[in-house]
Every structure is written in structure tokens, then in C-alpha cells.
Structure 1
């Protein structure tokens, strides 16, 4: 830690170590601060990766759901009208044609 070599400190067990009793307060504080900061960084990285995996899984599920849903072809068949709307349309067409339905 004194050489500011975080990679080497990690290789030597920074995350698992505790300050030694022979160290002064500033040395122990530096070790504890470095260890805790690195743990927080690693935890944040893991949360970021989990979030990315979760978002990717949701996107794949959505793509699969969209692929499984059949497309509706609106141009081939007109939707059926309710009976009252069909009757009103028939009356309007008959009136426009000049003959009133009986």
C-alpha cells in the first residue's frame, strides 16, 4: 500500500487482511480505508454486471414473446360490426341510395 500498488496489494490479500497490531493508527486507517473502498468497488461492479444480465434477459424474453405472438393481418378481413351499428349502416346506405328499407 505504501508503494501505491493496488494490484500487488490485492494479490497479497488486501480484501482479507486486518491491520496488524504493530502498525500505527495512520497505517491501520489507510489499510482499512483501501480495503473497504476496494470491497465497495467490487460489489458495485457485481451489481452492474447483474443489472446488465437482467436487462439482457428481459430483452430476450420480450423478443421471444413478440416472435410467438401471431401478426394480425387487418387487410384480409374486415372486423364484424355490432348488430346495432350494422343496422344503422344499412339504413344510411339505403337512404344514400334513395330507397328506405322496410
Structure 2
């Protein structure tokens, strides 16, 4: 495993190899250009700029991912709210309650139908 004290040249090699996971583990996001970093590898005098560009690209990608996640959560919440508005209101029971006078009349009618002459 590579530590945060990984030499900038190694960080650049990870970036050039497109092994960003290794570069991140090695401390890419902690890299700060130092005097002389451009001279570490004569083949890559732009080493500090390349590492800073990789940092910026990762920050941009992470910000875009967070915006995407926030948008998805917002859309999901709005869809749930819209669905809740469309749903019929919940009822306590499936039968509507009768007014008391109607309930008395219904009870009398049932008693008569059952053959109870006193109702």
C-alpha cells in the first residue's frame, strides 16, 4: 500500500496509467506543488500541472455525482408527493356510516323482515 508521502512522480505514474484509485490511495488529493517538482522527471516537466488537473477533474466529477444524486432524490420526493395527492383519501372502514335516524329505520326493517311484529 502506498502512503500519503508518495513521491509526486509515482502519483503522476498512477494518473498516466489511469489508475485513479491507486492515485487516490497514494494521496493525490493531498498533493500540493513544491518548488522543483517540474524537474523530478525530465520527460514530464508539466508534472505539477498534470497532478493539479487530475485533482480538479476528480473534484468536478464528484460535484457532478452529488448534483445527480440530489436531483434523483428530489425527483423521487416529488413523484411520491404527486402520487400521494392522486391517491384517494384513506377511509376508516369500507362502509360509510349511516346517520342515526337511518340506522333506526334500517333496524326496524330488518326486524320486520325477520318476523318480529313488535318492531
With normalisation by structure 2, the TM-score equals: 0.53
Unaligned runs of 5+ in 1: 71-102
- Alignment of 1:22 onto 2:42: no
- Pair 1:2 & 2:16 matched: no
Deviation at 1:68, TM superposition (A): 4.5
More relative contact order, 1 or 2 (CA 8 Å, 6+ apart): 2
CA offsets 1:39-71 (integer angstroms, 9 cap, x no match): 00010011011100000000001111111459x
**Correspondent of 1:33 among 53, 58, 62:** 53
Partner of 1:85: none
Pair 1:11 & 2:25 matched: yes
Partner residue of 1:84? none
The residue that corresponds to 1:94 in the other structure is: none
Q: Corresponding residue for 1:43?
A: 63
Distance 1:68 1:21 in 2: 69
Moved over 6 A (4+): none
SS of the aligned residue for 2:82 comes to: helix
Q: 8 Å contact 1:15–1:39 — kept in the other structure?
A: no
Instruction: Give 3-state SS (helix, strand or coil) of 2:87's partner.
Output: helix
SS at match of 1:15: helix
